[in-house]
Amino acid sequence: MKKHQKTGGNHDKYTPETAALGVNEALKTLEGRWKLFILFQLFGHGICRFSELERGIPGITQKMLTQQLRQLEEDGLVSRKSYPVVPPKVEYRLTRWGEELCPALDELLTWADKKPSK
């Protein structure tokens, strides 16, 4: 069996088991029906108000959007800024770490496009 060639980065510290566990943990951060929709909205627009996210993601409820944004914020991917005005103004943006996810998701999308047909 041919050994897979690494394509960059310093992955020598990982065994197959620790690599699988690490990727599994990363994927858990993205679990949830709406998290990727939220992230791609933020990738495309930079800063978004709650209402902009809600309009940009058809089918999501306010409750679910709030819940998913809180989880993304707790995980360090999204930051929230609230302004003391009436009506309330809240903006969301990717953190630096969240922005670093964009190229990885782009690569995953490119990989998925290459799926052989049956």
More confident of the two residues 18 and 3: 18
Asked if 90 and 50 count as a contact pair (C-beta separation under 8 A), the reply is yes
Residue 15: per-residue pLDDT: 92
- Report helix, strand and coil shares of the chain as percent, to nearest 5: 55, 10, 35
Cβ count near 89 (within 10 Å): 13
Residue 11: per-residue pLDDT: 66
pLDDT-based confidence at residue 14 (cuts at 50, 70, 90) = confident
The pTM for the full model equals 0.83
Measured CA angle at 30 (ends 27, 31), to 5 deg: 90
Please name each of the domains of the chain with its CATH number: 35-113 (1.10.10.10)
